[in-house]
Amino acid sequence: MDSLTDIAVFTQVVDSGSFTAAAERLSLSKSVVSKYVTRLEDRLGARLLNRTTRRLSLTEIGRVFYERSLRGLQEIEEAEAQVSRLQGKPRGTLRLNTPMSFGILHIAPALPDFLRRYPEISVDMNLDDRQVDVIEEGFDLSVRISELPDSALIARRLAPCRHAVVASPEYLEQNGIPTTPDNLRHHNIISYRYQASAREWHFRDSDKKMISVPISGTVQMNNSLALREALLGGIGMARTPTFVVGQDIQSGRLKQVLTNYETLEVSIYLVYPQRRHLSPKVRAFVDYFAERISDNPYWD
């Protein structure tokens, strides 16, 4: 068993790129991680890693050993998943990554019901608006709001992610209501930093003709919930997902403009690594949220 532990720690060091990062992932001290790797090298009688103060790299023998070890550990993980599947009970810790706004508004409120349904699952949820590397960072699942995700991952589409151009009634009263996309040149736009088109918005008119408009403003943000607060405060106009502002539009706190023009629409996916056997805990989560969020999501 010591040998298997040493190998698992060694592969984590390689995947993490450093002893320090591996120690954080494994909740161990750096010295303990180093001890496991050294013990493995002593047992094999070969140096697996080149260590310098600045970087870590595999030796030629280390690379061969790492690749074989990784396959072996994956086989063990799949064997455990198969046993769990046969037992038919989703269990264990589910490591989930989700964009911050979507996670706060639509994942976290559903977790109590999900966990009542699957009491042997625990959830470790990471909120992050950047696009994480699911495999490299060890997540079971990630929510992606984008075009079709990376083909190296399995993707389950949950719903469309529609966007609306909105502003507060007070802002529109003071600055006027745009009737064409070109009018946006004269408005203060609050932009979302992680959108690919953060500085130029694209629309389609009723004839499906593409219209591109450069936009500018005094505020740029990397979080949709903060952007929503700025909108409610009346400092500008934004194009933002309806899953963030749907209730505000329904209540009149925000007004949607340019409704005769189509604008950005992507999709909401659950993505997970390709594996021969999908673990019951992942399957349970995917099925639950596929049932909860559909092609006509409740926020629209």
pLDDT at 135: 80
Instruction: Please name the CATH architecture into which domain 161-265 falls.
Output: 3-Layer(aba) Sandwich (3.40)
Place of tokens 């064997």: 79
pLDDT at 292: 93
pLDDT at 190 over 90: yes
In this structure, what token pair is assigned to residue 220? Answer: 């740029």
For 206-287, list the strands marked E by DSSP.
210-214, 219-221, 237-241, 255-257, 265-273
Strands 210-214 and 200-204: antiparallel
2-81 maps to CATH 1.10.10.10: yes
pLDDT at 291: 92
Q: How confident is the model at residue 277 (pLDDT cuts 50, 70, 90)?
A: low
Residues 6+ apart with CB under 8 A from 264: 163, 195, 197, 201, 202, 239
165-166-171 Cα angle (round to 5) = 135
How much of the chain exceeds pLDDT 70, in percent? 93
CA separation for the pair 44, 39 (Å, rounded):
9
Q: Do domains 92-157+268-292 and 161-265 have the same CATH topology?
A: yes
Q: How confident is the model at residue 247 (pLDDT cuts 50, 70, 90)?
A: very high
Q: Is 159 within 8 Å of 268 (Cβ atoms)? A: yes
pLDDT at 198: 66
Sign of CA dihedral 151, 155, 160, 163: negative
CA separation for the pair 275, 277 (Å, rounded):
5
- pTM exceeds 0.95 for this model: no
Fold type of domain 92-157+268-292: D-Maltodextrin-Binding Protein; domain 2 (3.40.190)
Strands 56-58 and 49-51: antiparallel
Burial 47-58 (b: 16+ CB within 10 A, else e): ebbeeeeeebeb
For the chain, which residues make up each domain, given as ranges?
2-81, 92-157+268-292, 161-265
In three-state secondary structure terms, 30 is helix
pLDDT at 1: 52
CA atoms within 13 A on the CB side of 77: 16
CA separation for the pair 193, 176 (Å, rounded):
25
pLDDT at 3: 84
Residues 6+ apart with CB under 8 A from 51: none
